[in-house]
Amino acid sequence: AQSVTQLDSQVPVFEEAPVELRCNYSSSVSVYLFWYVQYPNQGLQLLLKYLSGSTLVKGINGFEAEFNKSQTSFHLRKPSVHISDTAEYFCAIGEGAQKLVFGQGTRLTINP
């Protein structure tokens, strides 16, 4: 069975500070990893994905994530956050065309 653990339920940071949202996963097979963002009262938008190849993945809005197989992690980072990055962030794991299993979400709050 697959599972995803997001280690922080809430992360408050100041504007223009760097941020890291942590995600660990568990799976017995090779998987694909995703980060989605959900703004208040909106749907899920894909930030970035890891399918194979380079372990450093760059996404939209200046976000990037690094796949670490030995540590079974896929942490999301941004060097300088903006007020507009305030949202809920979900890490997800998937197998090919199968369902996505989501983590519990991390609420990122940006303070001025």
Partner 1 sequence: AAGVIQSPRHLIKEKRETATLKCYPIPRHDTVYWYQQGPGQDPQFLISFYEKMQSDKGSIPDRFSAQQFSDYHSELNMSSLELGDSALYFCASSSRRGLNHEQYFGPGTRLTVT
Per CB under 8 A, residues contacting partner 1 are 32, 34, 36, 42-46, 49, 51, 90, 94, 96-105
Question: Which one, of 33, 54, 37, lies nearest residue 88 by Cα?
Answer: 37
**CB-nearer residue toward partner 1: 17 or 46:** 46
| Residue 71 C-alpha from the chain's centroid | 15
**CB-nearer residue toward partner 1: 15 or 59:** 59
CB of 40 to partner 1, least distance (A): 12
**CB-nearer residue toward partner 1: 15 or 86:** 86
Residue 7's alpha-carbon distances to 12, 21, 84, in angstroms, are 14, 8, 23
CA angle, 9 as apex, 7 and 14 as ends, to 5°?
105
